[in-house]
Structure 1
Amino acid sequence: MISENALENDFLFLNRLAQADTGKTAVIDLNGDRPVLLTFGQLREISDRAAQGLIDLGVKEGENVAYLLPNGWEFVALTLAVWKAGAVACPMLPALREREIPFIMRKSKSKILIIPEEHKGFRYGELIAGILGELPGMQSLVTIKPGSPARLATSLGGLAEREPDRARIGSRRPGPSSAAQLLFTSGTTGEPKGVVHTHGTLGHGVAAHVEAMGLTEDDRIWIPSPMAHQTGFLYGMSLALYLGAVQICQAVWNIETARSAVERHGATFVQAAMPFLADLTRESEPPKGLRAFVATGAPVPRKLAQEAAERLSCKVVGGWGSTESCMISVGSVHAYGESSWNSDGRVIAGRDMKITDEEGRTLPPGREGLFKVKTPAMFTGYLDHPEWYEAAVDKDGYFNTGDLAVIDDEGNLRLTGRVKDIINRGGMKVPVAEVENLLYQMESLRDVAVVGMPDERLNERICVYVSLKNPDAAIELDELTSFLKSQGVTKIYWPERLEVIREMPRTTTGKIQKYVLRQMISDKLMVY
């Protein structure tokens, strides 16, 4: 009989890396003029050397190591090096700037910051030079310049220069309960929280997903989502490491690189947010070759999911997960049908999800309520804020996601909105996600976001922001309300104001920042 501890050790990514075929391609990096390829043997060697470099810089076991890097072989090798040094990976999105970087450095207490020399035309050294006064705890700044991983003397900003003391590195080997990741939530509320995961919780998060999706070492995992976000970090990079599979890294989104990932380099699986799926689907000749696309991060319009499955010739499934809980539900690729893409999936084995009322009573199928989840992949705390964890996770281990949802008789999950996203129009709660999904069926609309706008009499009224597929076209509010009427939507749920916007404000991972839209309409109405 296999012990639970042995099973958890099998989940650990460093253990899986050690078992991988050294001659097999591990990473295909599509970010330069030509692809950079690393085998598993090369990845092990360079991450060993970089771990030695981190130890030489004074990184101690259990310390957070902050790095701000785009998707690529450097991100993968550095993450492994941090873990091999017994430290905690604290990745930052490349889009972060003067406000966010000092905040994360202070909160994480990282003594080291690792940056690229340049990304998308932006030079990070100049940024850091301008905020040095706000980084009093930083003792070392490592700048990674473009280069081949074969040039060990200069790779990873010089971290890989020295031969590693493997005995010393081995003594720092983390276990299942060792902290592995500190990830700050981003963007939709404006209040980042430092989410802490262990090697065990992350391993559990990947292992169950691999089984649910039927993935094997022969799959090729494409990663266009930022690796500094849980989607790219866990269900791209870490998933490929767990499988011993090829990972294909894309740092800057464009269709031709995406086409190369799929058609030239053979990508079979991707997990990413709705904008990636929409862009691929809207191509005149969408790339073909993917086996499965898991659409997460924000509710996916059901019409888009259906079109994408047809035009990409792959299985498009919905799913729900969070930074804190990892994936909880996913649509079936085995018994593929309408519910696979027409919902946010069914519960993954070993997880539990339920709908409750505000008093905590479990509601029957078909009733909307608070969405709560329980999983062995649950985070272990919010950095420096145990009270936040206590408020979010109840005594039975259920995490209150902050989402509203319905679970139907067949176990399919459907997210209906955020608790903080509710529009209270004179005491009537508006089903925001339902209205948005219907409006997405209008051929002229590219993006839709329904938000509340202040109203003295009703508390809130309904405002809809849209962007158009043809940005030079025009649209009127009555076109939207007439469409909703034709779909049988009661008038009290119709938008009362239309705002046309060229681009929706989004987080780096594609979520529409509704708090920004609410502030925009509040400012426009001059209501404070």
Structure 2
Amino acid sequence: MVNAHSYTYMQESACTPTTDIEGYVPFPDDRCQEYVEDGYWRNLTFHDVLDRVADDAPERTAVVGPHRELSYAELVENSRGLATYLAEEAGLERNDFVVFQLPNSSEFLEAFFACSRIGVIPVMLLPRHREAEARHVLELTEAKAVFAAGDRYRTGFDHVSLLDDVRDDFDDLTHSFAIVDDEETLPDGWTSFDAARDGELASDPSVDLDEIEVNPCNPGVLLLSGGTTGMPKGIPRTYNDYVFQWEYMAEVSGIESDWVAFPSVPIGHNASLNCVIGAAIWAGATIAVEPVLKPDALMSLIERHGGNYSLPIPTQLIDILEHPDLEEYDLSSLEVLVSGGQKVRPKAVYEFVDRWDIGFCNIFGMAEGPLICTRPADDVDVQAHTVGTPIAPHADEVRIVDESREKEVPQGDAGELSVRGPGFFTGYLRHEEENEENFDEDGWFYTEDVLALNEDGNYEVYGRLKDTIIRGGENIYAPGLEDEIIEHEKVENVAVIGIPDDRLGERVGAYVELVDGYDDLTVEEMGSFLEDQGIAVFKRPERIEVVEELPRTEVGKISKTDLRDDIVDKLENE
């Protein structure tokens, strides 16, 4: 791992937010001062972290993908070339927003670090987002430019056409860039990514990148919320608070400079950008990128490049374990896997640890900041049944509070997670109503997630507040019940939801995917099974819907919003 202290940073002086972005909530000056003085914030931008590694090990491979390989020195050079074009030809300035809709690729990293060099804020529109989300994000951010994948990457969707169809409706959107091999495929008004990066300027540049001062207390990236209800919310993360998490995530997971880290979910998702890309760059490791995120492609990548570290979501773990050709792939290079985003099945943890002798980091994470995870050296029972402890336990302020949000619950009891600290955001962009609802005057963010701090000091996740089914005054945490139902021999996957009920408020319902060979599962069968497991009567499902496949969000999580809509439709039709 690269020594953080080998690179100069301004620990001796605090920085103050200088952005004047409308609707952005900055860190208070006193907290900025505190975090710098305590050494949590190093006053480094994203490109500072990259340049630090390039100074120490310029020939080390930074990124390898299906089309090319770049050393750290080459990644620096390419990002500088693109940054110069963006500032000189596109006229982008500090605090402008630029929308990315890019696959896992080396070009993503070039563009990400280029934006950092000129203080431009990339917005992480995911590949599976479509016109509604694109319009929402362009309107929310008043973005000046977009980056999209063209014919170089076969993503199964024409993102250039999507953004081209909407660009004329947004006056602020003046420049569009696409990753293409054939420039003839570009619509009018679009610029080839390669041409911009490689310095095809109209005149000698007047911009000196080294003279551009980028304030590390200002936003460096705009993440998007999962969007399981309505349109995604904008989550600004400053350079300081994000780099803070890069450093601690690298330390917690034990990433070494000779490791190969690979994102298993879209690179613009916080799980990849923060926990994989950022942590790997901090450690000076190599990043392997694969645009196709199916099990075959990911297992081939691991075998081809000796992949050591990643963060797949739980469904990907199951897809790998149940892959019919699993034995044909050599996955022995794996060292550490992180997984979260939804409940990780304990039996998947046990099987991965047993089969490949890996360290498993069971994580609870949010783009808003909270990162709580087990450590690779923890006992496998801890890894399988808890999410461990905060990645920076001495810096992260964490409370579990009651329904009033005024009192902490006794240790061992479940309640709402509330956080504040150097690695957490300070408010959604231009969403005053949401900020008023979930922040208090002291800066505590109330996450709407239900956790408990166990007696052993590890946290356990029960689900979202909306995953709490209240049946006749009794609280039922859906993920805990799902853990029991999944053990039934017929059940391949399950999602538990609350069914509206006039008398009890809600009843328990379960949507299930069945194991091959079974075609039905009755309420009576499941009731008998749960009775044998000692599960209380009021928690047992009163309705079971068998489906071929559970609906998913854009990042592969089970979409309970769709299931709730479905059950309401069914009730109305009945």
Q: TM-score range by the shorter chain?
A: over 0.9
**Which residue, 293, 302, 306 being the options, matches 1:262?**
302
**Which residue, 385, 390, 396 being the options, matches 1:351?**
396
Cα distance, 1:243–1:147 mapped onto 2, change above 3 Å? farther
What CA deviation, in whole Å up to 9, does each residue of 1:158-204 have, x standing for no partner?
34334795962122242320210111212322242111111001011
Could you say which residue in structure 2 is the equivalent of 1:310? 354
Could you say which residue in structure 2 is the equivalent of 1:519? 565
1:49 paired to 2:91: no
> Helix, strand or coil: the match of 1:391?
helix
- Displacement, 1:69? 0.5
Could you say which residue in structure 2 is the equivalent of 1:108? 141
| Whole-Å separation in 2 of the counterparts to 1:224 and 1:525 | 38
> Helix, strand or coil: the match of 1:241?
helix
**Which residue, 159, 170, 184 being the options, matches 1:124?**
159
1:372 paired to 2:418: yes
Instruction: Say whether the 8 Å CA contact 1:477–1:497 is kept in structure 2.
Output: yes
Letter in 2 for 1:184: L
1:202 paired to 2:235: no
Question: After superposition, where does 1:389-428 map in structure 2 within 5 Å?
Answer: 389-428=435-474
TM-score (norm 1): 0.92
| Whole-Å separation in 1 of the counterparts to 2:260 and 2:167 | 41
> Helix, strand or coil: the match of 1:364?
coil
> Helix, strand or coil: the match of 1:525?
helix
What CA deviation, in whole Å up to 9, does each residue of 1:103-128 have, x standing for no partner?
10011111211211144232223323
**Which residue, 5, 8, 12 being the options, matches 1:3?**
12
Letter in 2 for 1:122: F
Percent of aligned pairs sharing the same letter: 27
Instruction: Say whether the 8 Å CA contact 1:424–1:460 is kept in structure 2.
Output: yes
List runs of 5+ in structure 1 lacking aligned partners. Answer: none
Letter in 1 for 2:128: A
Instruction: Say whether the 8 Å CA contact 1:423–1:461 is kept in structure 2.
Output: yes
Could you say which residue in structure 2 is the equivalent of 1:40? 72
> Helix, strand or coil: the match of 1:389?
helix
What CA deviation, in whole Å up to 9, does each residue of 1:191-238 have, x standing for no partner?
421111110010111111222222221222111111121111111222
- Displacement, 1:241? 1.7
**Which residue, 498, 513, 523 being the options, matches 1:477?**
523
Instruction: Say whether the 8 Å CA contact 1:9–1:15 is kept in structure 2.
Output: no
Question: After superposition, where does 1:433-444 map in structure 2 within 5 Å?
Answer: 433-444=479-490
| Whole-Å separation in 1 of the counterparts to 2:339 and 2:354 | 15
Instruction: Say whether the 8 Å CA contact 1:26–1:40 is kept in structure 2.
Output: yes
Instruction: Say whether the 8 Å CA contact 2:262–2:289 is kept in structure 1.
Output: yes
**Which residue, 320, 324, 327 being the options, matches 2:368?**
324
1:189 paired to 2:229: yes
What CA deviation, in whole Å up to 9, does each residue of 1:454-505 have, x standing for no partner?
2222222111011123276433333322221111001110001111112221
Letter in 2 for 1:456: D
Could you say which residue in structure 2 is the equivalent of 1:66? 99
- Displacement, 1:295? 0.9
Cα distance, 1:304–1:386 mapped onto 2, change above 3 Å? same
Question: After superposition, where does 1:135-284 map in structure 2 within 5 Å?
Answer: 135-146=170-181, 155-156=193-194, 158-162=196-200, 165=205, 168-283=208-323, 284=326
1:448 paired to 2:471: no
Letter in 2 for 1:301: R
Instruction: Say whether the 8 Å CA contact 1:303–1:440 is kept in structure 2.
Output: no
Could you say which residue in structure 1 is the equivalent of 2:25? none
| Whole-Å separation in 1 of the counterparts to 2:76 and 2:285 | 14
TM-score (norm 2): 0.85
Cα distance, 1:45–1:67 mapped onto 2, change above 3 Å? same
Instruction: Say whether the 8 Å CA contact 1:436–1:450 is kept in structure 2.
Output: yes
Could you say which residue in structure 2 is the equivalent of 1:429? 475
- Displacement, 1:65? 0.8
Instruction: Say whether the 8 Å CA contact 2:103–2:155 is kept in structure 1.
Output: no
**Which residue, 344, 356, 365 being the options, matches 1:300?**
344
List runs of 5+ in structure 2 lacking aligned partners. Answer: 6-10, 15-35, 184-190
Instruction: Say whether the 8 Å CA contact 2:401–2:417 is kept in structure 1.
Output: yes
